[in-house]
Amino acid sequence: MTSFSTVPALLGEALAAHGYTAPTPVQAAVIEPEADGRDLIVSAQTGSGKTVAFGLAMAAQLLGEDGKVPFTLPPLALCIAPTRELALQVSRELMWLYGKTGARIATCVGGMDAGKERRNLQHGSHIVVGTPGRLRDHLERGALDLSALRVAVLDEADEMLDMGFREDLEQILDATPNVRRTLLFSATMPKPIVALAKRYQSDALRISTVGEDRGHGDIAYQCVTVAPSDIENAVVNLLRFHEADSAMLFCATRDNVRHLHASLIERGFAAVALSGEHSQNERNAALQALRDRRARVCVATDVAARGIDLPTLTLVIHVEIPRDPDALQHRSGRTGRAGKKGTAVLIVPHPRRRRVEAMLRDARVTADWISMPTPEAIRAQDHERLLHALLEPVETDDEDKALAARLLAERSPEDIAAALVRMHRAKMPQAEELIDARPAKAPGPREGFEDTIWFKMDCGRRHNADPRWILPLLCRRGHITRGEIGAIRIAASETYVQVKRSAADKFADALKRTKGTEGEDGIHIAPHHGPTPGVDEGGGGRPQRNGANRPARPTLSRGAPGPGGGGKPPYKGKPRHASR
């Protein structure tokens, strides 16, 4: 089916008024003749037009021969959604779809005035939309009468079961007539959903529009590998590189949401947070800030983001890896909705890459493994965006032109343009330098250390030598940076240090000047010209600093012989300031 030719006329007019020219796959499937009047089990991805689909599917049970809804006090249709936001979204969709039919729609959700909801139910409604907990409360108080119900719709049923609403759903459905249609919409079909369908449906027609393209055809999946300690910096660079109108960042826990949200605010991002610790008023304020563009980034947990539909959302970042393929699908489905394009990026700590690859295979998702955006790439993107923004045609009035003329009288066009660029850059958070998260290379010189000089220190494992304090000591006494120091190889009584040849002379001269200073005269450092033992604490590169088996600080007594022998002063141990 390629058109809405078979839907009731008034609904067709509403669809045309909202720009619908052809049904989506799920909408076409539910209005086929074989689906007419039957219970339905529909598997469809988030953002595929499900609300309009079940609105069309239940039209035959709601509308009379004249295309209008008949008078009624008890509701004829009930739509249950897992979250307040999704219920409100469903209510808004059905209002415009059924607006010309005279249908009255009541919404019953947590956080709203329960007394007002009861009055609306008493005055009569054709369609009731609500969350399981609030609907059950109205049912137990006698405010919700389901005796005349003709259609029950469970939207995102899998999430309602995951959120612990099973008893609520069963109590609500047990209060409905046996002769009714039950439309079950779920992005996934786990065993609990199948069991629920068997209990409350009869001869249900199974419809699936997910197919092999389970991972949403309108979403581009990308994966970036990072060092585990660099995840937060990776988030910053991804946000800066894409500069999406709206972006959603998913974390696993409310504590992580709180931490990441605070970090982004500190860096200058306009961000809001959604998690289980936020009140309904805080959620409303956050969502309103996203809708009116006062905020562009939302940090959320999986459950808290349920039902959020932001038309401008084009970027989803999985800050923490989803727990399974279904969670990946639900998270990513916040973007790429109703035919719009979106991007979903998974930030993958390098040790967990295999797990993510397996999850992507299970989800039948093809993802591009890309490099993390560098500060240089981000600046290049900024330049293009700035040029595009400044070169766009704009409408000006006389006041604007007068101010422009005054500026030109005071400054040259180049100075004014440079000031505009500077103002634009000042508003943008700074990109971050990331650690290279690529796998270790094959044995051989580390990049940039093909030409080096070895130096020898007269302390080793017997003296509790440790790269954690040796590295800053070398930088301080040799007046060089960490980037000029390569491998640190610790033997039994000596330590060998690799220094770039370009910095070796400076390093040696500084050692002579700093000898005997800062209480470190017990450690002798000099160029080494003989063979270097193959004892490598750093894997041919920078020493490991993962905290495993860390040695204690040196504890040699003052009267003990020095590590180098030959009457040298006693080794006084690791300096107190060496671990700064």
CA dihedral sign of residues 516, 521, 523, 524 = positive
Q: Please give the structure tokens belonging to residue 257.
A: 């949401």
Angle, in degrees to the nearest 10, between helices 353-362 and 325-332: 80
CA distances from 456 to 371, 451, 482, 570 (A): 38, 17, 17, 18
pLDDT tens column, 288-334: 898 888 999 999 998 777 767 777 889 999 999 998 888 888 888 88
Q: Residue 271 in 3-state DSSP?
A: strand
d(C-alpha 469, C-alpha 240), whole Å? 36
Chain centroid to CA 302: how far? Answer: 10
d(C-alpha 242, C-alpha 95), whole Å? 35
Q: pLDDT-derived band of residue 542, with 50, 70 and 90 as boundaries?
A: very low
Give the position of tokens 């992005």. 187
> 169 and 154 in contact (C-beta within 8 Å)?
yes
CA dihedral sign of residues 301, 302, 306, 310 = positive
What is residue 40's predicted lDDT score, i.e. its pLDDT? 93
d(C-alpha 316, C-alpha 250), whole Å? 8
- Sketch out the chain's domains with CATH numbers: 9-208 (3.40.50.300), 219-376 (3.40.50.300), 452-579 (3.30.70.2470)
Q: What is the mean pLDDT of the chain?
A: 82
pLDDT tens column, 476-533: 888 998 888 988 898 888 999 999 999 999 999 988 887 655 445 578 899 988 776 5
> 561 and 570 in contact (C-beta within 8 Å)?
yes
> 316 and 250 in contact (C-beta within 8 Å)?
yes
What is residue 74's predicted lDDT score, i.e. its pLDDT? 94
| Residues 6 or more apart whose Cβ sits within 8 Å of residue 62 | 69, 76, 77, 98, 101, 103, 126, 127, 150, 151
Q: pLDDT-derived band of residue 217, with 50, 70 and 90 as boundaries?
A: low
* Residue 561 pLDDT exceeds 60: no
pLDDT tens column, 22-62: 888 889 999 999 999 999 999 876 667 889 999 999 999 99
pLDDT tens column, 413-447: 888 888 888 887 777 788 888 765 454 445 556 67
Residue of 290, 280, 127, 227 whose CA lies nearest to 432: 227
| Residues 6 or more apart whose Cβ sits within 8 Å of residue 490 | 460, 461, 465, 467, 535, 537
Strand-pair category, 297-300 with 313-318: unpaired
Angle at 429 (CA atoms; ends 426, 435), nearest 5 degrees: 135
